[in-house]
Amino acid sequence: MLWGIGISLGAGIGAALIKFLDTSFVEPIVLIFIISAIIRLIVVVFGLPKLKEVRKTKKLGGIKGFEHLLFKETGRTILEEVHELKSIKRYLHTK
């Protein structure tokens, strides 16, 4: 919910600034992107150190852990994606 509110407020403020900013050296939309990038950089620099991981996590476990993650955990997801792509292809060919 907060994410959506932030996106809406940011878009509204950006639209208002484009309408009211009058610059001769750069287009207003470009200036909005520059301001946005600077504000995001400030938030990351000051906000990122305050984030902490609260749940306990296991270590990956070297090559064996990586292989397990790559082949066992993601295998089903990749197969589902391939199945969906094939289904879309079949559907498009039947039309």
pLDDT of residue 92: 84
Q: What is the Cα 88 distance to its own chain's centre?
A: 26
Q: Under 8 Å CB-to-CB from 26, ≥6 apart: which residues?
A: 34
Sign of CA dihedral 52, 58, 59, 62: negative
Interval 65-87: pLDDT, tens: 777 777 776 666 777 788 888 88
Residue 67 Cα distances to 61, 72, 73, 79, angstroms: 10, 8, 9, 17
What are the residue boundaries of the structural domains of the chain, listed by start?
Answer: 2-50, 62-94
Q: Are 12 and 19 in contact (CB under 8 A)?
A: no
What pTM does this model have? 0.48
Between residues 50 and 63, which one has the greater pLDDT? 50
Average pLDDT, the chain: 83
Percent helix / strand / coil, the chain, rounded to 5: 80, 0, 20
**Predicted confidence band at 4 (pLDDT cuts at 50, 70, 90)?**
very high
